[in-house]
Amino acid sequence: MIEAMSEKEVKHVCDLTYLIEMMHGKKHLINEVFDAFLIEIPKELHNINTAMEEKNYTSIRNFAHTIMSTITVIGISVLVPILQEMEDLKITTINIEKLKGLNGKLNSICQQAIEEIQSEKHNYM
């Protein structure tokens, strides 16, 4: 299922419903979450990408778990199965290539989410 999904098939990756409800629609709080997301996600992606380069599979699993909590608040549900698989994948020669593919999708979808949040920010000022 994950392999068949391309970034082009997903129009918007962020569903802000949960965030808006959790913050009771308070724009300044929503904007603070946006700011934190825009700061933290690039750092988290850098960490997981570095772990991939270093073939540090324990760190990859840990960073995937960390990213999971970040994306949940922003409502990027399309990443949940990708991150879950990255956390659960048993490392074998075959799975290393799969892990690389999952990481590529993670980076691509996170970049789209960053662009969406940057675009949405003006609605919450």
pLDDT at 94: 63
pLDDT at 53: 94
CATH class (in words) of the domain with range 8-118: mainly alpha
Angle value at C-alpha 69, between 63 and 73, nearest 5 degrees: 145
Domain boundaries, the chain: 8-118
pLDDT at 103: 97
Dist. CA 5–CA 69, nearest whole Å: 22
Q: HSE (CB half, 13 Å, CA atoms) of 58? A: 0
Burial of 110 (0-12, 13-18, 19+ CB in 10 A): buried
Which tokens hold the place of 104?
């590529």
**In tens digits, what is the pLDDT along the chain, a chain of 125 residues?**
344 444 445 589 999 999 999 999 999 999 999 999 999 999 999 999 999 999 898 899 999 999 999 999 999 999 999 999 998 887 666 688 899 999 999 999 999 999 999 999 999 98
Helices 93-120, 80-88: crossing angle, 10 deg rounding: 150
pLDDT at 89: 80
pLDDT at 65: 93
Query: Would you give the distance in Å from CA 8 to the centre of its chain?
Result: 16
pLDDT at 6: 47
pLDDT at 50: 97
